């Protein structure tokens, strides 16, 4: 019997072995098709309700082509698809479910190596979390970004321009015909959002951690190279199976530092912080927000990509892609870290020059001297919170203003339309009970809308704070992920209308200017909100999800023991 894991299923001269082989033969396969060959599981997150993965139906054929070329046996295994556009209340409610599914699908099947076909925001982190826990050789095939969108002579970016033109429509500056025209063209092809949103950020992180082929994170979804990338990924998966190149052999503590440095340098989505925390903890590294803060302070932003900059993912690809950007950061990266192709990160990036220094800045000309996401602390966020200053109005980054507090999202919608709500441009909008447990599911409500009457006055940004997340394509002075969240009694639960809140980016501090005595008095009368899910997965989620500063994984899935062998089923 060979060393392949799948041999335990297919090689034995036993009743079980007979059963496994006979059923493959029932599908028209012969011994020569699979016997002794690495079985490569193609974990496919295709769904008709996931627009970002609509090309996965055909891309899986490219993967199979590569696997056959290398002497492997491909098996396509559908797993839950998490499409941002249609899932309510939030795909984040289901990230851990896909992580569990990935782990168990890998564990229970005769799979020697896996290709993780992901892209839309939560899919890549979820599948990596599962693959780390299963510890079976795995390689990520990112879906790739959409092509750039164009309207008249304007280049449109996913998400970011939807928010922008929606505000203009609410301000009365955009007619219905133009709004409909934008709707028709803003999603130009298959693929993920083509701004540096969460999908592109997580693909870049997967690559920088060594879990995808060089530049795999940047290849647009529908160009010819994406077909070739898929075939190459398939070929490499076969080799990884033969080498037993598992995630635990690739990932070191420094691999996660590389992921953090990368997300800071690309001014990636704030959501990446939650996902990197969760992935690291699956691998046994108890990463904290402090490490993000340390690396943020020394990492310049070099990717001039929206929403922080000017360009889109297609421009990034043409400019040299992620490896070209990483060549500027070799002193900040651990370049000796191993990657899925068997080479080090340093060896992989050495071949990629920068083609366009406006899109990928050099160290001497950064978009910002420090990282794209800052970690803040203070009496409103004892366990931390985050902000993306590169996507904010610099005027508001050091600001004190009176709070206007919304207890939940329905109340926000109601008070936004209420003429008596005392909004001013200096107000600090506060949304609470919108975190992992309170919402539930940690939705992307953190870019609170600017009230209509302020939009009509020309206001386009305000300080907004919440225990929620925001889309990676969003922008504005939004303080996010406040921990502990209000629903578990974090200080955010005690804020009242009119309280002064100070955002101080220079000192990385968020302060509620209310005395400790007064806060204690308010705490005595605080009543926890009623939780939404009385049963089912939602109840499991609310009972076991950890706070944002711990990565929002389930408490029973975080483990330092990644080596636990699967149960012997034979």
Chain residues in the site for ligand FES (CB under 6 A):
52, 84-85, 120-121, 158, 192-193, 197, 199
Q: Is the dihedral of CA 245, 143, 223, 329 positive or negative?
A: negative
Token pair for residue 279?
A: 């992935």
- Closest approach, Cβ 84 to ligand FES, in A, equals 4
Name beta bridge partners: 154: 151
Question: For residues 76 and 39, is the Cβ–Cβ distance under 8 A?
Answer: no
* Distance in Å from the first CA to the final CA of the chain: 14
Min dist CB 222 to ligand FES, Å, is 14
Q: Which is nearer to ligand FES, 255 or 269 (CB)?
A: 269
The answer to whether 116 touches 141, Cβ cutoff 8 Å, is yes
Contact indicator for 213, 125 with CB cutoff of 8 Å: no
Nearer to ligand FES (CB atom), residue 85 or residue 457: 85
Phi, psi for residue 102 in degrees, rounded to 5: -60, -50
Rounded to 10 degrees, what is the CA torsion of 227, 232, 237, 238?
120
CB of 185 to ligand FES, least distance (A): 16
With respect to ligand FES, which residue has the nearer C-beta, 476 or 491?
Answer: 476
- Can you spell out the DSSP letters for 181-207? HHHHHSS-SSSB-SSSSHHHHHHHHHH
Which residue lies nearer to ligand FES by CB, 146 or 396? Answer: 146
Q: Smaller CB distance to ligand FES: residue 52 or 132?
A: 52
Cβ-based nearer residue to ligand FES, 191 or 451:
191
- Quick count: other Cβ atoms within 10 Å of Cβ 8? 16
**Contacts from 162-171 at CB under 8 Å and sequence distance 24+?**
162/186, 162/473, 163/447, 163/473, 163/474, 163/475, 167/450, 167/455, 167/460, 170/452, 170/455, 171/452, 171/455, 171/456
Task: Please name every residue paired with 74 in a beta bridge, in sequence order, or none if there are none.
Answer: 40
Smallest distance from ligand FES to CB 322, Å: 17
Closest approach of ligand FES to the CB of residue 123, in Å: 9
H or E segment to which residue 247 belongs: helix 247-250
Strands, E, within 18-143: which ranges?
A: 39-44, 73-78, 113-118, 138-142
DSSP letter assigned to residue 125: H
The answer to whether residues 84 and 115 touch, using CB atoms and an 8 Å cutoff, is: no
* Closer CB to ligand FES, 202 or 404, in the complex: 202
Nearer CB in complex with ligand FES: 47/546: 47
Backbone angles phi, psi at 106, to 5 degrees: -70, -40
| Shortest distance, position 162 Cβ to ligand FES, whole Å | 10
Which phi and psi angles does 465 have, rounded to 5°? -130, 145
Q: To 5 degrees, how large is the angle CA 326–CA 118–CA 189? A: 90
**Rounded to the nearest whole angstrom, what is the least distance from the CB of residue 475 to ligand FES in the complex?**
15
| Residue 474: CB minimum distance to ligand FES, A | 11
Compute the least distance from the CB of residue 20 to ligand FES, in Å: 37
- 52 contacts 192 by C-beta, under 8 angstroms: yes
User: What tokens were used for 525?
Assistant: 């009368």
Nearer to ligand FES, 121 or 553 (CB): 121
Nearer to ligand FES, 312 or 512 (CB): 312
Which C-beta is closer to ligand FES: that of 473 or that of 547? Answer: 473
Widest distance between CA atoms in the chain:
79
290 close to 566: Cβ distance less than 8 angstroms: no
- Report, in Å, the least distance between residue 59 CB and ligand FES: 15
Cβ closer to ligand FES: 51 or 559? 51
**In whole angstroms, how close is the CB of 271 to ligand FES at the nearest point?**
11
CA 444 to chain centre: 12
Task: Kindly state the smallest distance separating residue 321's Cβ from ligand FES, in Å.
Answer: 18
DSSP secondary structure code for residue 347 in this structure? H
**Tokens encoding 207:** 């690559």
| Closest separation in Å from C-beta 224 to ligand FES | 22
| 198 or 546: CB nearest ligand FES | 198
d(CA 42, CA 34): 15
């Amino acid at each position: 019997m060979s060393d392949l894991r799948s041999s335990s299923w297919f090689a034995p001269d036993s009743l079980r072995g007979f059963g496994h082989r006979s059923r493959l033969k029932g599908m028209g396969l012969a011994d020569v098709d699979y016997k002794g060959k690495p079985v490569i599981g193609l974990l496919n997150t295709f769904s008709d309700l996931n627009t970002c993965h609509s090309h996965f139906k055909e891309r899986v054929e490219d993967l199979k082509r590569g696997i056959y070329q290398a002497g492997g046996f491909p098996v396509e295994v559908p797993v839950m698809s998490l499409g941002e556009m249609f899932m309510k209340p939030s795909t984040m409610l289901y990230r851990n479910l896909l992580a569990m599914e990935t782990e168990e699908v890998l564990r229970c099947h005769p799979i020697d190596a896996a290709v993780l076909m992901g892209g839309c925001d939560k899919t890549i982190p979820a599948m990596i979390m599962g693959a780390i826990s299963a510890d079976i050789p795995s390689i990520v095939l990112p879906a790739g970004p959409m092509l750039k969108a164009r309207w008249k002579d304007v280049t449109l970016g996913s998400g970011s321009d939807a928010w922008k033109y929606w505000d203009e429509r609410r301000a009365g500056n955009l007619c219905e015909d133009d709004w409909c025209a934008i709707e028709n063209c803003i999603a130009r092809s298959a693929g993920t959002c083509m701004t540096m949103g969460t999908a592109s950020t997580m693909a870049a992180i997967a690559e920088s951690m060594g879990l995808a082929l060089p530049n795999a994170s940047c290849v647009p979804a529908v160009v010819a190279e994406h077909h070739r990338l898929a075939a190459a990924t398939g070929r490499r998966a076969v080799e990884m199976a033969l080498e037993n190149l598992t995630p635990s052999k690739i990932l070191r503590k420094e691999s996660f530092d590389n992921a953090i440095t990368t997300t800071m340098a690309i001014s990636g989505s704030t959501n990446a912080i939650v996902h990197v925390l969760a992935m690291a903890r699956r691998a046994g590294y108890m990463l904290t927000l402090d490490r993000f803060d340390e690396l943020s302070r020394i990492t310049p932003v070099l990717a001039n990509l929206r929403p922080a900059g000017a360009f889109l993912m297609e421009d990034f690809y043409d400019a040299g892609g992620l490896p070209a950007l990483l060549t500027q950061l070799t002193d900040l990266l651990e370049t000796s870290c191993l990657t899925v192709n068997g080479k080090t990160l340093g060896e992989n990036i050495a071949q990629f020059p920068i083609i366009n220094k406006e899109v990928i800045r050099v160290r001497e000309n950064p978009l910002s001297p420090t990282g794209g996401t800052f970690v803040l602390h203070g009496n409103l966020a004892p366990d931390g919170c985050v902000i993306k200053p590169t996507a904010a109005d610099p005027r508001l980054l050091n600001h004190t203003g009176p709070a206007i507090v919304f207890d939940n999202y329905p109340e926000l919608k109601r008070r936004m339309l209420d003429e008596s709500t005392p909004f001013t441009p200096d107000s600090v909008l506060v949304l609470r009970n919108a975190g992992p447990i309170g919402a539930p599911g940690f939705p992307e409500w953190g870019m609170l809308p600017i009230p209509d009457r302020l939009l009509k006055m020309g206001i386009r940004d305000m300080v907004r704070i919440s225990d929620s997340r925001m889309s990676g394509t969003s922008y504005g002075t939004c303080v996010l992920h406040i921990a502990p969240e209000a629903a578990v009694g974090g200080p955010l639960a005690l804020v009242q209308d009119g309280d002064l809140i100070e955002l101080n980016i220079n000192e990385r501090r968020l302060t509620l200017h209310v005395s400790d005595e007064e806060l204690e008095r308010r705490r005595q009368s605080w009543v926890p909100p009623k939780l939404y899910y009385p049963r089912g997965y939602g109840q499991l989620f609310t009972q076991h999800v950890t706070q944002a500063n711990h990565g929002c994984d389930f408490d029973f899935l975080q483990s330092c023991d990644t080596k636990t062998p699967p149960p012997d089923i034979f």
